[in-house]
Amino acid sequence: MGVFSRKDNRAGKRVDKPKEEGQELTLVTDCYCANGHNLTSDLATFDGFNGITITLRNSRQEGLLCLSPLIGDTGRSFFNFEGEAGEIVEICCPTCSEPLPVYNECVCGADLVAFFSSPKVDFGNCIGICQRIGCLHSEIKSNRDLRLFSRRGFFD
Ligand SMILES: [Zn+2]
Ligand SMILES: [Zn+2]
């Protein structure tokens, strides 16, 4: 029986990429600006989870972006904002309008800004997003991803 199931497992298993590396953050249930305002809201939901709502601002317009709280998910909804791919926007807290703090520079040259997973400012415990609309890194990144990313620097 054990032999059979092991055989079945191996045959049916698709080798995508190694993924198991301990506990990794996959869902952001709460996240905060540097002033401790909670950014999650039900303005838009993703798979039933409340999205992360941030203000986007540039010289032409100001609107809201609601991001999927699932790490790596590119789901998002814009509200009153016409995002153009490649454009860099200021990302702010909808409550206090303070720009989110810069965590690092993205490979695209724009800044990666941070949200915090607790009301305390702690860059050891944050998630990030690129300010450039349409950037590969414009979905939320776990802290672990951010660390890997900054160590690796540029890559193609
Ligand atoms: Zn705030
Ligand atoms: Zn970027």
Per-residue pLDDT of the chain (156 residues; tens, 9 = 90+): 444 444 444 444 444 444 445 556 688 889 999 999 999 999 999 999 999 999 999 998 999 999 998 887 888 999 999 988 899 999 999 999 999 999 888 889 999 999 898 898 888 778 888 999 988 665 566 666 666 655 544 433
User: For residue 14, is it within any domain?
Assistant: no
CA distance 42 to 14: 36
Q: Is residue 147 part of a domain?
A: yes
Classify residue 9: in a domain, yes or no.
no
Q: How far is the CA of 123 from the centre of ligand 1 (A)?
A: 16
Residue 67 included in any domain? yes
Q: How far is the CA of 1 from the centre of ligand 2 (A)?
A: 50
Q: Cα(72) to centroid of ligand 2, in Å?
A: 14
Q: Note down the domain range covering 48.
A: 25-152
* CA quadruple 80, 52, 70, 87: dihedral sign: positive
Query: Per the domain annotation, does 19 fall within a domain?
Result: no
Widest Cα–Cα separation across the chain: 66
- Ligand 1: distance of its center to the CA of 11 in Å? 51
How many domains, the chain?
1
Tell me, yes or no, whether 20 lies in a domain. no
Domain presence at residue 5: no
Q: Kindly state the tokens that stand for 91.
A: 């990302």
Q: How far is the CA of 49 from the centre of ligand 2 (A)?
A: 25
> Three-class SS of residue 53?
strand
102 C-alpha vs ligand 2 centroid, how far in Å?
12
Where would I find the beta strands (DSSP E) of the chain?
Answer: 40-46, 49-57, 62-67, 76-79, 90-92, 102-105, 111-116, 126-130
CB 88 within 8 A of CB 58: yes
Which whole-number Å values give the CA distances from 51 to 54, 59, 77, 105, in the listed order? 10, 25, 9, 24
| pTM of the complete model | 0.74
Whether residue 42 lies inside any domain: the answer is yes
